Amino acid sequence: MSHPLLLALFRDASTAAAAAREVHQAGIGREDLSVVASDHHTEGRIAEQIGGSPGSEIEDSPAASRLGELGGYILAAIAIGMPGTGALVAAGPLAAELGEAAGHAAGDLTATLVKAGLPEKEAVQWESRIHGGAVLLGVHARAVNGSDVESALARHSDGQVINTQWGD
């Protein structure tokens, strides 16, 4: 089911954290606060710190992620039969990492931002700023007042808040 998705860009993790505290107070849970940062490691660290989740559903290509994960499982199956490697090393972490890498590489954050309503030139600038250390928060406003969340994001962000529909 479709729901509002609010997107806002923050100059760094500390301003994103301030906004996150307010959106949590408005009723947004961890699963509905997505973090997009310069790389998945940084994204995961920030998400953990502010009570959110990595924003792969916003920035990555789901098809490429699944294909990369499948490639990881194939490599894992090969590695299981090789001396000196084991199923523990080969299976989960390798598949997950390849899936994540493939999805991130094939994902097009600029296209997602344009689809959400940002002009292409601005979307390219946002993506460039993210690669330079800015943080994008995406808030899935499923069962809360979206205007409260939008106000909280606007107080801390570096500019506009995009309010778009997400999902089916």
> What are 10-28's pLDDT values in tens digits?
999 999 999 999 999 999 9
Length of the chain: 168
d(CA 70, CA 88): 17
Confidence of residue 162 (pLDDT cuts 50, 70, 90): confident
Is 168 within 8 Å of 1 (Cβ atoms)?
A: yes
Instruction: List, in sequence order, the alpha helices (H) in the chain.
Output: 13-25, 40-50, 56-59, 62-80, 87-90, 92-106, 109-115, 120-131, 146-156
**pLDDT recorded at residue 58:** 59
Taking residues 126-146, report their average pLDDT: 89
Confidence of residue 145 (pLDDT cuts 50, 70, 90): confident
**pLDDT recorded at residue 113:** 86
d(CA 12, CA 17): 9
Q: Is a pLDDT exceeding 60 seen at residue 142?
A: yes
Find which of 49-63, 81-95, 96-110 is predicted with most confidence, using mean pLDDT.
49-63
Contacts with 66 (C-beta within 8 Å, 6 or more apart), sequence order: 99
Q: Is a pLDDT exceeding 80 seen at residue 124?
A: yes
Q: How far is CA 43 from the centre of its chain?
A: 7
Is 157 within 8 Å of 10 (Cβ atoms)?
A: yes
- Helix, strand or coil, per DSSP, at residue 99: helix
**pLDDT recorded at residue 151:** 93
From the list 115, 167, 112, 109, the residue with the least C-alpha distance to 142 is: 167
Q: Is a pLDDT exceeding 50 seen at residue 115?
A: yes
Is 66 within 8 Å of 106 (Cβ atoms)?
A: no
